[in-house]
Each structure stands twice: as structure tokens, then as C-alpha cells.
Structure 1
């Protein structure tokens, strides 16, 4: 269990998280609110992909326990789901099992969006509708994943007593329940 004021998330994890979040929000605004932003849409999209790639490289090289990659097995996921059903939560140093899989899914969707966005602009597929349609479908899939992510942060914060949002801002473990230290 992380202790209060223990640094959990290195600066590069937090910066990459918020850069990806800001980039995805900007791309959505460019796609559905502002128009005539095709060049900016592509630029920000590739920048988001680059941030994800850097996060993956750093995650492979780091010694920070919470930022390393692991693949939670089905037993860990089932245990975690059971805890959620019982409205209690084991605190984790980093992502819980479902959270880790969500990270991988979000990154996979971002990579697929970059690929389909690039394919829709290539000469070989010029005039083809499927890359654009798949790109749009993936963007709505990513939006659904982000909504689930935000709801999960709220639910897990309440069940575990950890303030996950502030942890991703300043990196330190912080409890929602104020106990005397």
C-alpha cells in the first residue's frame, strides 16, 4: 500500500498522460467543433502518437514500479472485479489490473487511429472510404474508452479512498480519508 506523500508517478508519466489527454481533446474539437483544421488535426494526431511511443519506451526502461508494464492475468482481473462488486478495493502501487488493460487498449486505439488517419491520406488508398470510416469508428471507440476511464477513476477513488486525480497531477499518494499520520 502506498504511503501518504510517497511519489508514485514519475514526472514523465504525468506529463505524457496530460499531453495525450490534451491532444485527444484538441483533435476532437478540431473534428467536431472547428473545421478546416485538417493539417492541425494530423499534426496533433502524430504528436499524440509520438508521446505514446515515448511513454512506452520510458515504461520499458524505467525502474519505477508503478510505471513499468505488466500483463495482469485473468485471476487478478476476476479478483479486482470481485472487490468492485463488494465495494471494497485493494490499493495498488500504480494501475490496478483493469486499469493496466485500459491503458493498453487506449494506446492501441491511438495507434490504430494514427494508422487509419495516415492510410486515408495515402495515394494508394485515395478515394477509398474504408480508412475514413474505420478512423471515425475508432475515434468513437476511443471516446467510449475515455468515458469509462474517467468513470473508473471516480469509482476507484471512492472505493479505495485514494485521490487518483491529484496523484496524476502531483504524483504523490494522497488519501481521500484524512487520517492522522
Structure 2
């Protein structure tokens, strides 16, 4: 059996699957069950607030400073993917880090525009409703791209990244792995 190392702490994993659940519930209840939709949005907002704090104070691989890279590093990583030359990271790779930021921002904006619709100032305001729906569709596109990225990275590096988000562990590869 391959040697593994703990990468994702329990709070990162609980956050991840809770946010997945919140988004799925909000998406599926959007036109049918208003109260459930709103509570799923409030849960997502609370989870994002937690993740922002945990990204600054959490464990090594949870910290933004560990996985947020500049545009040059991220673009170089993306360019290396088609040729199979993208380096393996124990934590999030540069594309994954950029995706996390995009998902957090978009989910935060969806939650904010959803909350705005519950206030007296913006209740029934069409542009807020349209923006909320547009952002929710953008978020769905990001989720699909995220899942595709996980599948591609899992295949390329021959590891099950979904399983690692349940167990918290990833295999230790070669000395060339980037920590």
C-alpha cells in the first residue's frame, strides 16, 4: 500500500461537503421551496465566512498562502496540463487554488444577492433577481469546471482526489511533488 500523508483537515472536508450540499439544496429548491432555498443560502454564506477565517488561520494546506498562486504560475500550470506535464501538488495545485477563490467569490455574491432580495430595499427589484440568477448559473458552470478539473488531475496523477476529500489523506509521490 502506498504511503499517505494527511493533507485535508476535518474542518476543510466538512466545509467542502457542506458547501456542496448547500449549493445542491439551494439549486434544487430555487423555484419550489422558498424557505429551504433561503436557508441553504444562509448556510452557504456562513460556510464561506468560516472558510475565509480558516483560510487565514487554519492548518497548513487550508491556508490561502499555501495554495493561492499568481497568474503566471497558474497559467503555466494550465498550459502544462494538455501535454501531461503539470506537476503534482500535495495541496491544491495552482488551477485548483484559483478555482477555490472563484467559487468562494461567486458563491458569496450569490448569497449576497439572494439576501438582498429579502430586504425592503431590494425586494422585488428585477435587476437583483436577474443578477442572482445569472450568478447562480455562473456558479454552476464553475462547479462543472471544478469537477472536470478534479477528474483530469485524478487521471493525470493517478490518484482519487474525491476520496482524499473524504479521508483527508493523499499518497506521497516522488520528491518532485510540490508541497
**TM-score of the superposition, structure 1-length normalised?**
0.88
The answer to which of 73-82 and 38-47 deviates more is 73-82
Instruction: Please name the residue that 1:26 is paired with.
Output: 25
Q: Distance in 1 between matches of 2:141 and 2:28?
A: 16
d(CA) in 2 for partners of 1:83 and 1:4? 27
1:139 offset after TM fit, Å? 0.5
Matched with 2:38 is 42
- CA separation in 2, counterparts of 1:88 and 1:4? 23
1:113 to 110, 126, 141: 110
Q: Does 1:54 align with 2:50?
A: yes
After TM superposition, give the deviation of residue 53 of structure 1 in Å. Answer: 1.0
Matched, 1:5 2:4: yes
Query: What residue ranges of structure 2 are gaps of 5+ in the alignment?
Result: 173-179
Instruction: Verify the 8 A CA contact 2:4 2:169 in the aligned structure 1.
Output: yes
Name the counterpart of 1:68.
Answer: 63
Spell out, residue by residue over 1:67-88, the C-alpha distance to the aligned partner (whole angstroms, 9 max, x if none): 1103311221132123202113
Q: Tell me which of 81, 85, 106 is aligned to 2:82.
A: 85
Deviation digits for residues 40-96 of structure 1 (CA, Å, limit 9, x no counterpart):
21111111110111122122112x321110331122113212320211331112111
* Contact 1:72–1:97, Cα closer than 8 Å, also in 2: yes
Distance (Å, rounded) in 2 between the aligned partners of 1:107 and 1:14 = 15
Q: CA deviation at 1:118?
A: 1.4
RMSD: 1.7
CA displacement, residues 107-150 of structure 1 (integer Å, 9 cap, x when unaligned): 11111111111111211123320110000000100000000000
Q: What's the counterpart of residue 126 of structure 1?
A: 123
| Conservation of the 8 A alpha-carbon contact between 2:113 and 2:132 | yes
Aligned residues between the structures: 170
Aligned-partner Cα distance in 2 for 1:152–1:128: 36
